[in-house]
Structure 1
Amino acid sequence: MRLRSSTQATPKDPPTGAPISDTFITGTSPASSAHAPIQLLLPGHSLPHLPSPELKLLRKKQKRLASQSHSTHDSSTHAALAATLIFAQPDAGTAVCVHPHGWVLTCAHCFGESAAEWAANKRKWLLAHTGLA
């Protein structure tokens, strides 16, 4: 896995006052491009490259999250919840979005216990607290 150096320039932040959307941001990083653009996936969008058992688990998690998200809309914890993401695959954990361009912090095991495991399944799906993928 190749990580971006912290000394490299990063894209500019969106203008102050730009609306924050509940739309999930997913990175697409083909082997030929370490800095591929981020895609926005709107609700109801199909989720490519996700095996059927994992899609079933993702939809189950989405339903549970969406059923409880209404209680957070007026809460002071809304921003923290909006930044917290849950990995959809089995036995995975959470990530925290730390940048408007989709940079996330998470544990290495969420991507694989070895380089071979990571290489076998590079695409990961994350769920927001509202159930959006």
Structure 2
Amino acid sequence: MIHTNIPTDFSIRTLPSKLTVAATKLPASDHRTLNKKREWLENYTVEVPKTLKRNGVASPVPAVLVFAQEEAGTAICISPNGVILTCSHCVAETEDELDWGKTHWLLFASGTVVAAKTVFWDPSRDLAILIITRAPPLALNSPASFPFIRLSPEPPRLNARLMCFGHPGAEDLEASIPGVKTNYDTLVMSLGTFKGMAPGQDPQDNAEIGVFMHDCWTYWGHSGAPLLDRNTGALVALHSSWDDETAMRRGVPWEAIDAFLQEIEKQEHGTTPEGWRWHCR
């Protein structure tokens, strides 16, 4: 079931050029974390496979976002209007925890900071949609100016080559003592392949563990990270979890993402501003 909270106003307000605690209203420690992540993203770039350039495909990296808080997850922009796709558990673990009024702070791979709010939340599929509500002036040159990636027109074939862009957590959760840092970069790429769908599991049910199996390297904080076709750069799944018995990485499959987005478009047809796109294919 998709839980919905559609706004009456889709306009995006301008963030001040200097982002202070007064503007974000984040706890001081979270605001420092935001600035630390922004500094890294503004000074470093993530390389992509050369096959993309050979195929004339633009880098998908600019459309990737990381949540500002520690260990909060990854997301991907799927529309130039500022529609963000991530895992539902990155927004709220349970319906009781879901706060429609909460502002989520995220950073694009360029270091651009945006504020967003949840508008769709589907715990069964483990998917959520946020829309950008505030952004810097340079990100608002036109009503539809955010970097985005397209959903693949079809699911991947078995052993399809994948790339994953994610935000590994800063704390080593496998260490014997708390507080040990991983020293991972803020945003990393990993390569792997599609290993098939979990036998006997409904592709629309990813609540406990994702159906999509892959072997791209991931860590805590990768939830919501896009899994993209290495030849086309199109979205085929979202990383969500891992099987601690087999160490197989798991994700929300294309079938669930496609059904989720189609339901949203059908449900909200005629309610959004002219030219609005919930996603692109």
Q: Normalising by the residue count of structure 1, what TM-score does the alignment of the two structures yield?
A: 0.62
In the alignment of these two chains, the number of paired residues is: 103
Q: Which has the higher helix share?
A: 1
Structure 1 residues not aligned, in runs of 5+: 5-32
Q: In terms of Rg, which structure is larger?
A: 2
For residue 97 of structure 1, what is the aligned residue in structure 2?
77
* Identical-pair percentage: 31
State the secondary structure of the residue aligned to 1:59.
Answer: helix
> Does the Cα contact within 8 Å between 1:111 and 1:122 map onto a contact in 2?
no
AA matched with 1:97: C
- By how many angstroms is 1:118 displaced? 2.6
For residue 68 of structure 1, what is the aligned residue in structure 2?
44
Q: Kindly indicate whether residue 4 of structure 2 is the aligned counterpart of residue 2 of structure 1.
A: yes
- By how many angstroms is 1:50 displaced? 1.7
- By how many angstroms is 1:131 displaced? 1.4
Measured against aligned partners, the alpha-carbon deviations of 1:105-125 in whole angstroms (never above 9, x if no partner) come to 100111111233232872101
State the secondary structure of the residue aligned to 2:32.
Answer: helix
Q: 1:81 to 1:57 in 2, by over 3 A?
A: same
AA matched with 2:11: P
Distance 1:78 1:117 in 2: 38
- By how many angstroms is 1:128 displaced? 1.1
Q: 1:52 to 1:120 in 2, by over 3 A?
A: farther
Distance 2:13 2:82 in 1: 10
Q: Normalising by the residue count of structure 2, what TM-score does the alignment of the two structures yield?
A: 0.32
Distance 1:122 1:87 in 2: 13
> Pairwise CA RMSD of aligned residues?
3.0
Q: Which has the higher contact order (CA 8 A, sep 6+)?
A: 1
For residue 112 of structure 1, what is the aligned residue in structure 2?
92
State the secondary structure of the residue aligned to 2:76.
Answer: strand
Structure 2 residues not aligned, in runs of 5+: 114-281
> Does the Cα contact within 8 Å between 1:2 and 1:34 map onto a contact in 2?
no
Alignment of 1:1-133 (within 5 A): 1-2=3-4, 33=7, 35-41=9-15, 43-46=17-20, 47-69=23-45, 76=53, 79-119=59-99, 122-133=102-113
Q: Which has the higher strand share?
A: 2
Q: 1:50 to 1:121 in 2, by over 3 A?
A: farther
Measured against aligned partners, the alpha-carbon deviations of 1:80-100 in whole angstroms (never above 9, x if no partner) come to 111111111122111110111
Q: 1:52 to 1:112 in 2, by over 3 A?
A: same
